[in-house]
Amino acid sequence: MIESNSPFYDTFKGILNTIDKNRVQELLTYMNTEAINFNLFKNNAFIERKFPFDIIPRIVSPSEFAYLEKGIQQRIYALNLFLEDIYGVQKILKDGIIPSEFVFSSKAYLPAFANTPVAKNIRVHISGIDLVKNSVGDGWVVLEDNIRVPSGVSYPLSLRLLTRKVFPEFFEKLPIQDVRDYPKKLEAAMDYVNTGGINVILTPGRYNSAFYEHSYLAKESGAILANGEDLVVEKDKVYLKTYNGKKARVGAIYRRLDDDALDPVEFHPDSLIGVPNITQAYRAGNVALMNSIGNGIADDKGIYYFVPAMIKYYMNEEPILQNAPTFLAFFEKDRNHILQNMRTLVIKDVAEAGGYGVVFGSQLTKSEREKLKDAIIAEPRRFIAQEVIEFYDIECLDEAGTFSPRKADLRMFSIYGKDIFVWPGGLTRFAMDPTSYIVNSSQGGGFKDTWVLKEHR
Amino acid sequence: MKVNFSYDFTLTFDEPVRNHHFCLRMVPHTNAIQTLLDWKLNLNDGIPYYQTRDGFENHLVYGYCGKPHRALKANIEGEIELSTYIYHDQEPVELYLPHSTLAPLCEDVRDFSRSLKLPVTDFRKAHFLTQLLYEQFRALEEPKAKGIKTFLLYKEGISQDFSHLLIALLRSNGIPARFVNGFIDGVNKTHTWVEAFMDGDWRGLDPQSGIFIHDEPYIKIAHGRDFSECQIHRGSYIGKRQHILKIMGRIERNEQ
């Protein structure tokens, strides 16, 4: 089913029809010169690839955005409280809301960082929550809370800037919310948690799939873009080595490296892209890391199940956004349900991300299904299963110039600084294959901009 | 019991290394069974160091030496008050029940565990397993191969292997267990042992000696779910990888 309930899609198409098709080509050329890439690793080879995009935006009405904004703020607030708790007194475990063995058996829980205070008690500085709009009941459903190193904000942002240039008429005729202040909000959040010194964006380097974004955000937020080797821990503080040999104290780091790669002295010893002993400076409270170390436990696909309960527990509120109906193989009752309903469920390996380790039970052969069953029985903690959500298709303009439907999700970004800012835009990802439900960029999906409309003046 | 202790750590390199960042766990853990009364830490060539603690309350000493050097030497001396090895702390006990990377519940451990006829109570089980490791496994000075599987196969290994296997066996029998790094008198290596949680307390088990630690002078430095979380030394430097690690611990009873 196609999501086109908004009358604004008609307005959009009306304007699109009046547009000279050559200008569409102009937009494509601009996007190519901007070199908006999403690097892929496929069969162990490195492919630098254009991130395919579609010019038709997802349009979000003012009331819909207001609802999403409230829901995301509530969710992020609760997840942050959960992390403060789980790396602190662990009240939620003592009160039996989440089974403690469920947390302690997760590789994402890092007890070596228990009782490490973080600047301003903020741990979820940057988040990218993935949602889909259910075609049954029209409600938004959260699929994943990405609160480690979510990427993707720069793609719709760049596309927006170019679309404004090439098709100004959309922006004259439709009340579209401006999104250009994202880097400024990032800067404000970095300043807010900064422990003294400059702001830095720490990138794994140009082979990373989101390097384009790291450089874009650095340029626009005024932070210095640095590789691991540009930073050094001296005494108990972090410094940036500058080209003239001087060193500048670093107070906040928006790090685009996973925990595991962050520090070869603390985590993976073979990491060449990290900063040795940066975790000790962090433990000593001399640098703010965005996001904090150990956040993985809160966006663990298994912990996801408990987020609605967290909202009730910490905030005494009803959750605004819903979860997809989820079963945890960890619980015997759920496990039996999964084993009996393999054909209709999506089974996810909690240790994987980016669309890897996601299996549709209906697409498995009998022997594959049996193999997966054995794996679930052997390691129940590793698997969750979800009912397939019939989420909306969204229209894309294909090469022939006709509209064709694709499954699409929405990643909404928020920045937690002085307060929780939900960006009035978002990365809409669609599946390239018309029959596929998997929209992840790392699985070859494409993207669209997301236009949030303002109330009529 | 008050004792004086000294602990030497020496890391030597075949060729000079530089840009050396290190993190050492050398300062004894402070808890209900040992009170650190006095201590002094020195690094060679006056290399400065800084301190912090990890989530297990282990004391970390870290620092940086940029210029080329052939050795990192650290010495700690001090006085410590030891009491009977039965205590509890604030950490959640359940943290130490799930299996961890270096103490996994692999097929080999499961099979080995099944082949044993274990007594009923936790306490007796722990005692039985500690004794069993002491009697059936041989201690090596230098590691021949890594991991719990080869340890089970060859029935010989280093201190860590003893501790990891005991931990895996205890956990698979529902007894929370953690890995301890520390030292005893005169042993030319770091000594490791195990703490098991039984009847509301942590108790020390040394599978290499086959004993429940009671009043023997064992000085604990750090603990974690397994070795990976409480290594004595971690570092990163530019230079060849070959290095030699020497450790010497001394404990003397303070006769006052």
Residue that wins the pLDDT comparison between A23 and B117: B117
Query: Which of A104, A112, A235 is nearest residue B55 as measured by Cβ atoms?
Result: A112
- Give the total number of structural domains in chain A: 2
A302 and A383 assigned to the same domain: no
Contact A174, A116 (CB under 8 A): no
Q: How confident is the model at residue A37 (pLDDT cuts 50, 70, 90)?
A: low
Interface test with B, best of A95, A265, A379 (most B CBs within 10 A): A265
Q: Is B126 on the interface with A (CB under 8 A)?
A: no
CATH class of segment(s) B86-229 = alpha beta
A23 and A122 assigned to the same domain: yes
CATH class of segment(s) B2-83+233-253 = mainly beta
- Of A364, A387, A410, the last residue of a domain is A387
Closest by CA to A212, choosing from A457, A456, A447, A450, is A447
Q: Is the dihedral of CA A135, A138, A144, A149 positive or negative?
A: positive
pLDDT over 90 (residue B253):
no
Return residues 266-295 of A near B (CB < 8 Å).
266, 269, 276-277, 280, 283-284
A297 and A341 assigned to the same domain: no
| ipTM for the complex shown | 0.93
Return residues 190-249 of A near B (CB < 8 Å).
232-236
Does residue A164 fall inside a structural domain? yes
Give me the residue label for tokens 């041989």: B138
Q: How confident is the model at residue A36 (pLDDT cuts 50, 70, 90)?
A: low
Mean per-residue pLDDT for B208-222? Answer: 94
- Of A387, A404, A429, the last residue of a domain is A387
A427 and A336 assigned to the same domain: no
End-to-end CA distance of chain B: 10
- Of A335, A357, A387, the last residue of a domain is A387
A305 and A363 assigned to the same domain: no
Does residue A157 fall inside a structural domain? yes
Domain with CATH 2.60.40.2250 in chain B: 2-83+233-253
A314 and A171 assigned to the same domain: yes
A184 and A331 assigned to the same domain: no
Interface test with A, best of B11, B20, B21 (most A CBs within 10 A): B21
Residue A46 neighbours by CB distance under 10 Å = 11
Does residue A382 fall inside a structural domain? yes
A351 and A377 assigned to the same domain: yes
Query: Which of A104, A235, A280 is nearest residue B60 as measured by Cβ atoms?
Result: A280
| pLDDT tens-digit map of A184-234 | 999 999 999 999 999 999 999 887 777 888 998 999 999 999 999 999 999
Does residue A239 fall inside a structural domain? no
Residue A364: CATH number of its domain: 3.30.1490.270
A183 and A39 assigned to the same domain: yes
What range defines the domain where residue A335 resides? 325-387
Q: How confident is the model at residue B256 (pLDDT cuts 50, 70, 90)?
A: low
Which contiguous run of DSSP H or E holds residue A281?
helix A278-283
Instruction: Tell the burial category of A2 from Cβ atoms under 10 Å away from its Cβ (0-12, 13-18, 19+).
Output: middle
A395 and A439 assigned to the same domain: yes
Does residue A280 fall inside a structural domain? no
Residue that wins the pLDDT comparison between B38 and B143: B38
A373 and A422 assigned to the same domain: no
A383 and A411 assigned to the same domain: no
